[in-house]
Amino acid sequence: MAFGDYPIEYDPKKHGPYDPARYYGKQDIPFGQLKLSEVGAWFARRNKSPTALGGLIGRAYWRWQHKYVQPRRGGIAPFFQVAVGCSLFFYFLNYQKITSHRNYKYH
């Protein structure tokens, strides 16, 4: 599978038009329906390769796009989500500088 190709599991005759927000691999038990004893086996069945991680991020991005950005009456939610995400990212990036400039009361 090269970069930009359809997933290997995708079959246009069976699945219809391609949806980048859908996982076309073998279905598994959702994480919320697992019992505590099954969690280890569930994580062992996951594909932990960089390609699988990229696919996971891409599917999450397209689900977000379909839910917040691309609807006809989208609203302002995606702009606030990006602004809050950037704020948190730069807060954690500059945390050491922020904590070293605390105001102390000297008695």
Residue 58 Cα distances to 28, 38, 72, angstroms: 19, 27, 22
The pLDDT averaged over each successive group of 10 residues in the chain (107 residues) is 80 92 90 93 91 90 93 92 97 89 69
**Which sequence spans correspond to the domains of the chain?**
12-100
The answer to whether the beta carbons of residues 21 and 63 sit under 8 Å apart is yes
Place of tokens 């359809």: 6
The answer to whether the beta carbons of residues 15 and 27 sit under 8 Å apart is no
- The confidence score (pLDDT) of residue 59 equals 93
- The confidence score (pLDDT) of residue 51 equals 85
Q: Where are the beta strands (DSSP E) in 1-107?
A: none
- The confidence score (pLDDT) of residue 1 equals 59
- The confidence score (pLDDT) of residue 74 equals 86
- The confidence score (pLDDT) of residue 66 equals 93
Please state the pTM of the whole predicted model.
0.75
**Amino acid at position 85, single letter:** G
- Please enumerate in sequence order all residues whose Cβ is within 8 A of that of 18, keeping only pairs 6 or more positions apart, or say none: 6, 10, 12
